[in-house]
Amino acid sequence: MDIKNLKNSRVLVRVNYDIPTLESIDRIFDSKKTINILLKNNNCVILLSHWGRPDGNNIELSLQKLVPVIESILNKNIIFYNQYNNGFGSLKNKIERDNSEIYLLENTRFEEGEKSIEPSVRKKIASRYAQLADYFVDEAFAVSHRNEATNTEIKDILDWDYGLSYKEEIVNLDRFKNSNKPISVIMGGAKLETKLDFVEKILHQCDQLFLGGQLCFPFVEAMSYIDKSTPKIHNSKYDMNFVHKAKKILQIYSNRIVLPVDFVYMKDFNQILAVDLGPATIEKYKNKLVGSKAVFWNGPVGYYEKKPYDFGTQEIARIITSLQNCYKVNGGGDTVSSIDKNILGKFDWVSMGGGATLDYLVK
């Protein structure tokens, strides 16, 4: 099946409208090409998405709130339908009479079974959605690493294809994975429980791994037991369990891991916090990145929300985008929102995948 060949059909499209604010609309824009090509070919489009982690029916996370935003981006009327209140039967009858219409269904995660660990539960939910359409399109790369009824089990019921933006993600991330060496990866931000696993796996593939943000603290602390010249993180928070894991990673990959040699500090009441990379570290990272054939960056390297502690993050962005003969990938999320938009446009690819991007790169 090819999405471009679908005509005069009813098509379920799983999108990712899990946006942090009503102003952060990149993910909605990301689905526009797929929706437009389906409408052009006289298809009825039924959009499925989650929003946040609602833990049941949470009116604050109702997708009805997104209708004006989606309409302004697509320049089309959106028909919102609450499948939980009104049922699937009447919706099916309505859809069968409509072509070139766009329906937006309520938050898929309002139903607890959507993320059930039991495939049979997810399949039952998927079958209810599948009765509404002839085909399914997966345009939600950002949840490709999750098993949910509306992006996994539904593919066992309907003929399906990936959306256009999903396919672009795969092409561009594959290009990074297949790049000539040396390959460099820069990791920052928080979410240590997720990113530490990624760090361990990506070290099998990359030649250099540069660390910043909260992610570097366990490694800096682990290194301080070996090298007394390691910069102090003072009162910056870290988990000793992560330090133990970082120590084990360093024992194997110390020759590939590049750590800060200084920090910028902020005094918060009686505490001293490391909040950005220091000038010597930025210079060190700049010199070591020269010659890289591919660079992937995920996560700001400092407290970017508060100036001037965004300086390190902005400088890393400038350094990466100035590299010659190098394929440059921005990992999305805070790595997008934390840097100047003019610099962002100089990356070869900006991923919308978040955790799914990290997961895909180490498959």
Domain final residue, candidates 134, 165, 196: 165
DSSP strands (E only) in the chain = 10-15, 44-48, 79-81, 102-105, 135-139, 159-162, 183-187, 208-211, 257-258, 263-268, 271-277, 294-298, 327-330, 349-350
Q: Cα angle vertex 361, ends 360, 363, to 5°? A: 65
Same domain, 223 and 97: no
pTM: 0.88
Instruction: Give just the sign of the alpha carbon dihedral 95, 5, 155, 22.
Output: negative
Same domain, 324 and 344: yes
pLDDT for res 98: 66
Give the integer Cα–Cα distance in Å for 6 and 13.
13
Q: What is the DSSP letter of 179?
A: P
Same domain, 134 and 231: no
Exposed, middle or buried by CB within 10 Å (0-12, 13-18, 19+), for 318?
middle
Give the integer Cα–Cα distance in Å for 199 and 205.
10
Tens-digit pLDDT profile for the chain (363 aa)?
Answer: 899 999 999 999 999 999 887 777 888 999 999 999 999 999 999 999 999 888 788 888 999 999 999 999 999 999 999 998 888 888 888 787 766 689 999 999 999 889 999 999 999 999 999 999 999 999 999 999 889 999 999 999 999 999 999 999 999 999 999 999 999 999 998 888 888 889 999 999 999 999 999 999 999 999 987 777 788 888 888 788 899 999 999 999 999 999 999 999 999 888 999 999 999 999 999 999 999 999 999 999 999 999 999 999 999 999 999 999 999 999 877 888 788 888 999 999 999 888 899 999 998
Same domain, 160 and 181: no
Same domain, 225 and 155: no
Same domain, 124 and 256: no
Same domain, 137 and 177: no
Same domain, 196 and 344: yes
Same domain, 186 and 105: no
Give the integer Cα–Cα distance in Å for 195 and 30.
25
Give the integer Cα–Cα distance in Å for 165 and 43.
19
Domain final residue, candidates 136, 165, 194: 165
Same domain, 139 and 235: no
CATH of the domain at 282: 3.40.50.1260
Count of domains for the chain: 2
- Domain carrying residue 77: 3-165
Strand, helix or coil for residue 181: coil
Domain final residue, candidates 139, 165, 191: 165
Same domain, 156 and 60: yes
Same domain, 43 and 152: yes
